[in-house]
Amino acid sequence: MTHILIVDDEANIRRVVREYAEFEGYKVTEAENGMEAVNLCRENDYDLIIMDIMMPRLDGYSACKEIHKVKQIPVIMLSARGEEYDKLFGFEIGIDDYVTKPFSPKELMARIKVVIKRSAGNNAASQQDKYVFGGLEVNISGREVFVDGEKAAMTPKEYDLLFFLVKNRNIALSRNRLLEEVWGYDFFGDDRTVDTHIKMLRNSLKEYRSYIVTLRGMGYKFEADQ
């Protein structure tokens, strides 16, 4: 059974999300602050975390960072603030989706299904090989990337994006195709989401950033001889 951790200091929010999630057949655990969520994740495994940002003791961003140090669990972030900066910062630290309060519980359930399905697909697809492009080594099965022998520290979405680009190397990929394949058909985002993650990915690849070629007015491709 899919196990979801709901983290919010508002009991009413937790109650509503729990009711809808349990109706969908999910197992639910609650936490009322970021510190409690981190401790729960150290002791238990969850398939998805729904995390509020503004909480006492430890905010959602900090809790997400701490959790990702030990486990790669998909995260949907909740916030009363809908500024672009907040969303981009969330994606930079590795969240999978961002929902602005007040939200529709039905829409949240739809987003949960997309993230869980995408996560399961990523895990099932981890049977690919290792690719080497000069000093850049991409190990898809081990979800590792090495730049000149040094392991790159990237967000989960950077890994997903790079792996898809590498598996489709030398093929022109539109921004919409990348959104559909890497984020999911029902992802509620736009072209800027792809561009932001491409920028982050290039920074992570350092001198090998040139493998990712911009196709003006269209998208990107990973260009390599092999």
pLDDT tens digits along 81-118: 766 677 777 788 888 888 888 889 999 999 999 888 87
Give 18-55 pLDDT, tens digit per residue: 999 999 999 999 999 999 999 999 999 999 999 999 89
Q: Within a 10 A sphere around the Cβ of 56, how many other Cβ atoms?
A: 10
Residue 14 pLDDT more than 70?
yes
Sort residue 143 into left (φ over 0), alpha (ψ -120 to 50) or beta.
left
pTM of the complete model beyond 0.75: no
Average pLDDT (67-73) is 86
CA atoms of 160 and 163, how far apart (whole Å) = 5
Q: What sections of the chain are H helices per DSSP?
A: 11-23, 34-43, 60-70, 84-92, 105-124, 156-167, 175-178, 191-205
Q: What are 160's two structure tokens?
A: 């997903």
Quote the pLDDT of residue 127.
46
Tokens at residue 175, please?
A: 């921004």
Sign of torsion, CA 77 79 82 83?
Answer: negative
User: Domain-by-domain residue ranges, the chain?
Assistant: 3-124, 130-222
In this structure, what token pair is assigned to residue 163? 């792996």
Residues in the chain: 226
Name the one residue in this structure whose structure tokens are 């639910």.
Answer: 28
> The domain at 130-222 falls in which architecture?
Orthogonal Bundle (1.10)
Fold of the domain built from segment(s) 3-124? Rossmann fold (3.40.50)
Mean pLDDT along residues 199-212 = 94
189-206 burial string, b = 16+ CB within 10 Å, else e? eeeebbebbbebbbebbe
